[in-house]
C-alpha cells in the first residue's frame, strides 16, 4: 500500500534559497544541479500554429512543444517565492512522492490536489493554451517541485503543461510502446540506471521545457518528468 499523503504548510517546504528575493528571473526559487540534456526530439511549433493544424497534426497523434502561444507574465509574477508564501504560506498542501509505491525513501513534491477555493485567486490569472480537444473540458493542476523530483511513467487523458519557473525534462512514449521501468523507482533513478542502456530505437521522445514553454501530450501517451531546478508549473488536463 502506498504511503499516506503528507500535509504540510507551503511555507515549510524546503525548496527555497534563504534570503532569495523576487527580482531574479528564477523567482527566488532554488536552482538545481541536475544537468540538462541539450537533445530535443519533440517537435516544436510557434504562435503561427492554427487550431485546425493543431487538430490535424498533433491533437490525436503526437506531442508538441508550443512557444509563444500564451502570455503568462502576470501569472508568473504571482508565482515568485515571496508572492506564493505571502498568499498561500499558511495553507496545508498535500504532498506526493516521486515514485509510485513509496516503499523506499523518496522525494516529495506538490502537484495537483489543489483546493480550488483557496487557489482560485491565483488560477484566475492563468492564461491557458488556446487549443482544446472537442468534447473535453479543462481542469488545472498547479505544482512546485524540487530539483531531482518528478513523476514516473504513467498515462491518462490529453493535456498541456506549462513551466512557470525552473526547467522540467520530459520523456514520452506512444501508447503502444510501454516503457521499461520499475514502479517504485523515481524518474531520476530510471534516468541514471535504465536510460543509458536503452538502444536508440527504444529511447523516448524527450525535451527540456523552460519558462513560458507549453508541452501538449495526446491521450494515453506514456510520460515521465524530471525537475532540473525547483520548478513551478501548471498543467491543463482535458477530461
pLDDT digits (tens, 9 = 90+) for 193-214: 999 999 999 999 999 999 999 9
CA distance 89 to 80: 12
Helix (H), strand (E) at residue 208:
strand 205-209
| Res. 103: pLDDT tops 50 | no
Neighbours of 77 (CB within 10 A): 12
- From the list 6, 15, 47, the residue with the least C-alpha distance to 227 is 15
More confident residue, 126 or 94: 126
- Which pLDDT tens digit goes with each residue over 145-164? 888 888 889 999 999 999 99
C-alpha cell at 44: 516544436
CA distance 200 to 172: 14
More confident residue, 196 or 107: 196
Residue for cell digits 531531482? 148
Confidence of residue 15 (pLDDT cuts 50, 70, 90): very low
- From the list 62, 53, 40, 43, the residue with the least C-alpha distance to 221 is 62
| Res. 4: pLDDT tops 70 | no
Query: Domains in the chain, ordered, with CATH?
Result: 6-11+39-238 (2.60.120.650)
- From the list 194, 207, 196, the residue with the least C-alpha distance to 168 is 207
Amino acid at each position: 500500500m502506498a504511503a499516506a499523503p503528507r500535509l504540510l504548510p507551503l511555507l515549510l517546504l524546503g525548496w527555497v534559497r534563504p534570503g532569495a528575493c523576487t527580482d531574479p528571473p528564477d523567482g527566488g526559487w532554488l536552482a538545481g544541479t541536475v544537468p540538462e540534456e541539450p537533445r530535443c526530439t519533440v517537435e516544436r511549433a510557434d504562435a503561427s500554429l492554427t487550431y485546425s493544424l493543431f487538430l490535424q497534426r498533433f491533437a490525436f497523434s503526437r506531442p508538441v512543444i508550443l512557444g509563444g502561444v500564451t502570455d503568462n507574465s502576470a501569472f508568473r509574477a504571482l508565482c515568485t517565492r515571496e508572492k506564493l508564501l505571502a498568499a498561500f504560506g499558511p495553507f496545508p498542501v498535500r504532498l506526493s512522492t516521486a515514485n509510485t509505491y513509496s516503499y523506499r525513501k523518496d522525494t516529495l513534491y506538490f502537484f495537483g490536489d489543489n483546493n480550488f477555493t483557496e487557489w482560485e485567486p491565483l488560477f484566475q490569472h492563468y492564461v491557458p493554451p488556446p487549443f482544446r480537444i472537442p468534447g473535453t473540458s479543462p481542469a488545472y493542476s498547479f505544482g512546485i517541485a524540487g530539483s531531482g523530483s518528478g513523476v514516473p511513467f504513467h498515462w491518462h487523458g490529453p493535456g498541456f503543461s506549462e513551466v512557470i519557473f525552473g526547467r522540467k525534462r520530459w520523456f514520452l512514449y506512444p501508447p503502444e510502446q510501454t516503457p521499461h521501468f520499475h514502479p517504485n523507482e523515481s524518474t531520476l533513478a530510471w534516468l541514471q540506471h535504465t536510460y543509458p542502456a536503452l538502444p536508440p530505437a527504444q529511447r523516448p521522445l524527450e525535451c527540456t521545457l523552460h519558462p513560458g514553454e507549453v508541452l501538449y501530450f495526446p491521450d494515453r501517451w506514456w510520460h515521465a518528468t524530471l525537475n532540473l531546478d525547483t520548478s513551478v508549473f501548471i498543467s491543463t488536463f482535458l477530461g
